[in-house]
Amino acid sequence: MNSEINTDVVIVGAGSAGLYALREVRRARKSFILIDTGPLGTTCARVGCMPSKVALHAAKLWAGCNKLSQIGVTGTDVLSIDLSATWSALRAQRDKFSHSAATKARNAAGEHLIIGAARFLEPTLIEVDSINGKQTIRASSVVIATGSRPVVPAWLEPVKNRMVTTDDFFELSALPERVGILGLGAIGLEMGAALSRLGVEVIGADLASTVAGITDPVIAKQATAYFGSEMTLWLGAPVSVERTEKGVLVRSGDNQAEVDLILSALGRRPNVDMLGLAEAGFPIGERGMPVFDTRTLQIGHLPVFIAGDANGFRPLMHEAADEGAIAGFNAVQETVTRFRRKVAVGIAFTDPDICSVGARFDELHLEHVVIGSASGEANGRAKILGAESSLLRVYADARDGQLLGASILADGGEHLAHLLAWAIQRGETATSLLELPFYHPVMEEMLQTALQEIAKKVTMPGGVPLGLVADEFS
């Protein structure tokens, strides 16, 4: 007979959110049990942000060889790349990240880790099907941090033997010569750029009319032109696939091409559908998702909290870390705390990076907004780097120039995105930021240019020069 285990907190899921929740539970010196289906190792480390960046870095190094002739280097035309060796090295580096994450989970949980599938019988009563049989656990509070998995629509079933998801891609033993990427969000476009620069023929297709979820039409046009010069892009039309003798025939609108393999990057879905939440008495909203407060992460009024990709709110690693800490903290408190959420930041490390900070273009009331822009064609550092295609658009309140958001396509855009995120969260205006130093020549001068355009639109002429502050004691 299976006896019931009692503990203070059960954490379901040992990914980023689960481990940050565990940190807070341990900090409060509460008893816990950590449950995970395995394999251990966070989505970021195993199949997401880290492996894709490894591939992008290798691709950048190889693609850079083709530019050496511009500075007088000869012999580059005889260079070659062994993609089998390249891919093996990338997988080995990925394995290091994954192993490190898995080791951290094991060390943090120790003997309190159970590998198995969890299902809720009641909001605080969980049954786990593990290698040791079924175990029932009663907790005072619960954190759900079960992560997400790739969306695989039914229409891909006929080509499943020639298709991998972003979770499977780095398990391939070798790279194919031709890849069709379905879905050009951040990960799809990152992998497309990396593979194309490594010499793989890439066909990228998406029902959306833009890449990487860009909503600013000016940035979208620039990005489509740039990445369309590196790989084939089919945008804005439904996609169909058909198995052929040697691969897969991909169709989109009037376009069609045969590829060796399909990489499905059509988004991810939260792993909550197999937890039995509705049957256990949880409040369920749209698409079968539990109803929760985004600032407390509490589900209804239950002592249960949901964090990370499992809640689908902001499925990014840094958000999962914050949410894990929020959920873990609230799970061990007598009174639930509401937390301020940080400014939203999204980055595709596509070199040039595609970034969204704060309010997105499609969220703005344009009649109340001024936009400052800057182009790499007018930036000295961008010209040196060959990054003239860089483009920055900053959104500000038309009344006082307070920064609201930005859309970025730029070399080193990750750094501009962070600067803007910090500034927006601090409530900075275009004028207040211009009072800070800008070195020359740097990519950050693009931000200076955009801020100057905003400031000129919202401030009255006259007074001290823009960007300077008079010393009141002089």
For residues 417 and 438, state if they share a domain. yes
Rounded distance, CA 138 to CA 121, Å? Answer: 10
The CATH number of residue 322's host domain is: 3.50.50.60
Is there a single domain that holds both residue 143 and residue 199? no
| 37 and 118 both lie in a single domain | yes
Q: What is the mean pLDDT of residues 341-349?
A: 97
Taking residues 270-298, what's their average pLDDT? 95
Q: Are residues 294 and 418 in the same domain?
A: no
| Statement to judge: residues 14 and 98 lie in one domain | yes
- Provide the whole-model pTM: 0.93
Among candidate residues 251, 266, 281, the one where a domain is terminated: 266
Band of pLDDT at residue 2, cut at 50, 70 and 90: low
- pLDDT score of 66: 82
Mean pLDDT, the chain, rounded, equals 93
Identify whether 62 is part of a domain.
Answer: yes
**Single residue among 239, 266, 293 that ends a domain in this structure:** 266
List C-alpha distances in Å: 420 to 303, 405, 428.
Answer: 36, 8, 9
Q: Are residues 146 and 158 in the same domain?
A: no
Residue 451 region, left (φ>0) first, then alpha (ψ -120 to 50), else beta?
alpha
174 vs 297, which has greater pLDDT? 297
Residue 341 has pLDDT above 90, yes or no: yes
For 61-73, how does the pLDDT look when each residue is reduced to its tens digit (9 = 90+)? Answer: 989 988 888 889 9
39 lies in some domain: yes
Domain boundary among 280, 297, 331: 331
Helix (H, G, I), strand (E, B) or coil at 444: coil
* Percent of the chain scoring above 70 in pLDDT: 97
Helix (H) or strand (E) holding 117: strand 113-122
In a domain, 283, yes or no: yes
The string of DSSP letters for 241-291 reads: EEE-SSSEEEEETTEEEEESEEEE---EEETTTTTTTTTTT--B-GGGPBP
- The answer, yes or no, to whether residue 3 has pLDDT greater than 80, is no
What is the pLDDT at residue 47?
A: 59
* Euclidean distance between CA atoms 102 and 323, whole angstroms: 20
Which pLDDT score, from 0 to 100, does residue 286 have? 83
The whole-number pLDDT of residue 93 equals 85
* Span 358-398, pLDDT tens digits: 999 999 999 999 999 999 999 999 999 999 999 999 999 99
DSSP states along 372-392: EEEEGGG-HHHHHHT-TT-EE
Number of domains in the chain: 3
Burial of 134 (0-12, 13-18, 19+ CB in 10 A): exposed
- Domain enclosing residue 222, as ranges: 154-266
**Statement to judge: residues 242 and 289 lie in one domain:** no
Instruction: Give pLDDT, residue 102.
Output: 83
Question: Residue 1: what pLDDT?
Answer: 42
Q: Considering the domain boundaries, does residue 125 fall inside one?
A: yes
Could you report the per-residue pLDDT of 150-163, keeping only the tens digit for each?
Answer: 999 999 999 999 99
Residue 340 lies in a domain: no
pLDDT in tens, 167-179: 888 888 889 999 9
339 domain residue, yes or no? no
Assess contact for 121 and 136: CB atoms under 8 A. yes
Average pLDDT over residues 237-264: 97
Can you give the CATH number for the domain in which 400 is found?
A: 3.30.390.30
Which amino acid, 432?
S
pLDDT category of residue 225 using cuts at 50, 70 and 90: very high
Per-residue pLDDT of 24-34, as tens digits, reads 999 999 999 99
Nearest to 414 by CA among 41, 56, 19: 56
Show contacts of 232-236: CB within 8 Å, 24+ apart: 232/202, 232/203, 232/204, 232/257, 233/184, 233/204, 233/205, 234/203, 234/204, 234/205, 234/206, 235/184, 235/205, 235/206, 235/208, 235/209, 235/210, 235/211, 236/206, 236/207, 236/208, 236/209
% of the chain beyond a pLDDT of 90: 78
Looking at the structure, do residues 160 and 293 belong to the same domain, yes or no?
no
Assess if residue 465 is contained within a domain: no
* pLDDT of residue 462 exceeding 80: no
Q: Say yes or no: 396 and 407 in one domain.
A: yes
Q: Is 470 a member of any domain?
A: no
Same domain, 9 and 122: yes
For residue 69, the model assigns a pLDDT of: 86
- Asked if residue 262 and residue 180 are part of one domain, the reply reads yes
| 52 and 198 together in one domain | no
